[in-house]
Amino acid sequence: MNRTSLFSRPAWAAIVAGVVVLAALPLLNLIFADGHPLHVPSYMVSLIGKFMCYALAALALDMVWGYAGILSLGHGVFFALGAYAHGMYLMRAIGREGVYQSDLPDFMVFLDWKAYPWYWSGTDSFWVSLALVVLVPGVLAFVFGYFAFRSRIKGVYFSIITQAMTYAFMLLFFRNNTGFGGNNGFTDFKRILGFPIAAPGTKAALYLVTLATLAGALLLCRWIVTSKLGRVLQAVRDSESRLMFIGYNPLWFKLFVWTLSAVLCGIAGALYVPQVGIINPSEMSPANSIEMVIWAAVGGRGTLLGPVIGAFSVNGLKSWFTGAFPDLWLFALGLIFILVTRYLPRGLAGLMRKEQA
């Protein structure tokens, strides 16, 4: 395999086959009636759609951790902010179909709010909401990253402050007076772009948009990491001081990949919320950010495709395990992380490459 190609021919074949199979699932759900051997249940379409959102978040994390050596334990906040930005539009699209039949969301009526706060301005527009999905995580990441990277904060210290950041945002969003629904967050969505959000056709469209976004993000990230920029990012990871010695300023390279990663994570959150039907502050919990790290580690960081595989594998196992042994999942997750770190340091992707060799 050519070093600059990143993916081998079997990997490309697997990617294409995977996209075709995933694209077929919602079509099988729509075409064949319930009870038909080829029918795919609606819950399975929603579940795989959620997994693809997680895979996009894992891919975003791999860009900063796998290629720039920046371990973030706070990517959950970018995921949640993207979800909240889109959720604001979805809440306003409910109109007067809420419990209180008001122009305001039910939680605002319950708290005796008389009008939307200023930061909800324009969120009745899908396109404004889409811009916020990109801008809110992107601006936060840029500002946070600028001061952190300029101060030469890295390693475990950077990881700790990213975890502190997501925890602080979680506590902020739990407050009722912030105007984001408090503990309950946003839920009970009715429509998106005028289409009923619970309709099978709408769910299929959201699913296919998520698949296209994941595939597009994978190609974008591959293009970046195989370019000169990608080689500089890997130099930042391997020896930042040597890179500075030969005349590069790592600040802007780190800031670029950090901001890009946050934006991709925000897009993942925006695609997640209409398919799952709820967003609340628990998505910002440090545990969720740590799970993203585990997805990337299990799949194989620094491979792009590995974190996608890891997100599907870990969350597929979680869906089964939490149903069969709900109290033991966290122990199983910890054990998986230990075993992968000890016996599969390059993750599932590394194991696949070894088998091909």
Interval 107-141: pLDDT, tens: 999 999 999 999 999 999 999 999 999 999 999 99
Per-residue model confidence as pLDDT tens digits over 79-112: 999 999 999 999 999 988 988 989 899 999 999 9
User: What pLDDT sits at residue 356?
Assistant: 56
Residue 302 lies in a domain: no
Within-domain flag for 318 = no
Cα 268–chain centre separation: 4
- Helix axis angle for 126-150 and 250-276, nearest 10°, is 140
Contacts of 246 (CB under 8 A, 6+ apart): none
pLDDT beneath 70, residues of the chain: 1-5, 353-357
Amino acid at 248: Y
Average pLDDT, the chain: 93
Domain count for the chain: 1
Whether residue 15 is contained in a domain is answered as no
The secondary structure of 318-352 as a DSSP string is: HHHHHHH-GGGHHHHHHHHHHHHHHH-TTHHHHHH
pLDDT of residue 8: 83
* 120: in domain: yes
Note down the domain range covering 140: 25-31+43-284
Contacts 24+ apart (CB under 8 A), 160-165: 160/73, 162/72, 162/73, 162/74, 162/75, 162/289, 163/73, 163/74, 163/286, 163/289, 164/74, 165/74, 165/77
Per cent of the chain over pLDDT 70 is 97
- 342 within some domain: no
CB contact at 8 A, 346 and 300: yes
Write the DSSP symbol of residue 40. P
- Residue 19 forms part of a structural domain: no
Strand partners, 195: 192
Quick check: is 351 in a domain?
no
- The answer to the question of residue 291 being in a domain is no
